[in-house]
Amino acid sequence: MSRFSHFLAVDWSGARGPRQKGIALAVALAKGGPPVLVAPPDPRGWARQEVLALLLDLPVATLVGLDLGISLPHADAGAFFPGWEASPADARGLWALIDALCAADPHLEAGSFLAHPEAARYFRHGAGATGDRFLLPGALSREGRFRRAEHAQRRQGVRPVSNFNLVGAAQVGKSSLTGMRMLHRLGGRIPVWPIDPLPQEASSVVTEIYTAMAARLGGVTGAATKLRSFAALNDALDRLGSPPVAGEGPIDDHSADALLTAAWLRRVHKDRDLWHPPSLTPEIARTEGWTFGAL
pLDDT given for residue 141 in this prediction: 73
Question: In the listed set 168, 184, 200, which residue is the last one of a domain according to the structure?
Answer: 184
Q: What is the pLDDT of residues 72-122, one digit of tens each?
A: 999 999 999 999 999 999 999 999 999 999 999 999 999 999 999 999 999
Say yes or no: 47 and 192 in one domain.
yes
- Confidence check: pLDDT of 2 > 90: no
- Confidence check: pLDDT of 64 > 80: yes
Between CA 207 and CA 54 the distance in angstroms is: 15
Question: In the listed set 184, 214, 240, which residue is the last one of a domain according to the structure?
Answer: 184
Say yes or no: 178 and 193 in one domain.
no
Question: In the listed set 184, 212, 247, which residue is the last one of a domain according to the structure?
Answer: 184
Between CA 6 and CA 32 the distance in angstroms is: 10
pLDDT given for residue 8 in this prediction: 98
Residue 83 lies in a domain: no
Say yes or no: 107 and 58 in one domain.
no
Residue 27 lies in a domain: yes
Say yes or no: 66 and 196 in one domain.
yes
Q: What is the pLDDT of residues 188-244, one digit of tens each?
A: 999 999 999 999 888 999 999 999 999 999 998 866 688 999 999 999 999 999 999
Say yes or no: 201 and 271 in one domain.
yes
Q: Do residues 161 and 171 make contact, with C-beta atoms less than 8 angstroms apart?
A: yes
Say yes or no: 102 and 161 in one domain.
yes
**pTM score of the predicted model:** 0.96
Q: What is the pLDDT of residues 266-292, one digit of tens each?
A: 999 999 999 999 999 999 999 999 999
Amino acid occupying residue 273: D
Say yes or no: 33 and 163 in one domain.
no
Residue 167 lies in a domain: yes
pLDDT given for residue 111 in this prediction: 96
DSSP states along 130-169? B-TTSS-TT--GGG----HHHHHHHHTT-----TTB--ST
Q: What is the pLDDT of residues 15-51, one digit of tens each?
A: 999 999 999 999 999 999 999 999 999 999 999 999 9
Say yes or no: 199 and 165 in one domain.
no
- Confidence check: pLDDT of 1 > 60: no
Say yes or no: 112 and 163 in one domain.
yes
Say yes or no: 36 and 179 in one domain.
no
Nearest in space to 57 (alpha carbons), one of 65, 68, 49 = 49
Number of compact structural domains in the chain:
2
CATH code assigned at 233: 3.30.420
Say yes or no: 53 and 194 in one domain.
yes
Residue 75 lies in a domain: no
Say yes or no: 147 and 213 in one domain.
no
Between CA 148 and CA 153 the distance in angstroms is: 9
* 48-56 vs 173-186: helix crossing angle, rounded to 10: 40
pLDDT given for residue 12 in this prediction: 97
Residue 120 lies in a domain: yes
Amino acid occupying residue 121: R
Residue 151 lies in a domain: yes
Structural domain boundaries, residue 262: 6-70+188-275
DSSP states along the chain? ----SEEEEEE----SSS-BTT-EEEEEETT-S--EEEPPSSTT-B-HHHHHHHHHT--S-EEEEEES-SS---TTTTSSSTT-TT--SSHHHHHHHHHHHTTT-GGG--HHHHHSTTGGGGSB-STT-B-TTSS-TT--GGG----HHHHHHHHTT-----TTB--STT--HHHHHHHHHHHHHHTTSS-BTTTSPPPSSS--EEEE--HHHHHHHTT--SS-----BHHHHHHHHHHTT-PPPS--SB--HHHHHHHHHHHHHHHHTT-GGGGS-TT--HHHHHHT--BTT--
Q: What is the pLDDT of residues 42-53, one digit of tens each?
A: 999 999 999 999
pLDDT given for residue 128 in this prediction: 67
Q: Mean pLDDT, the chain, as a whole number? A: 94
Q: What is the pLDDT of residues 113-166, one digit of tens each?
A: 999 999 999 999 976 667 888 888 667 678 899 999 999 999 998 999 999 999
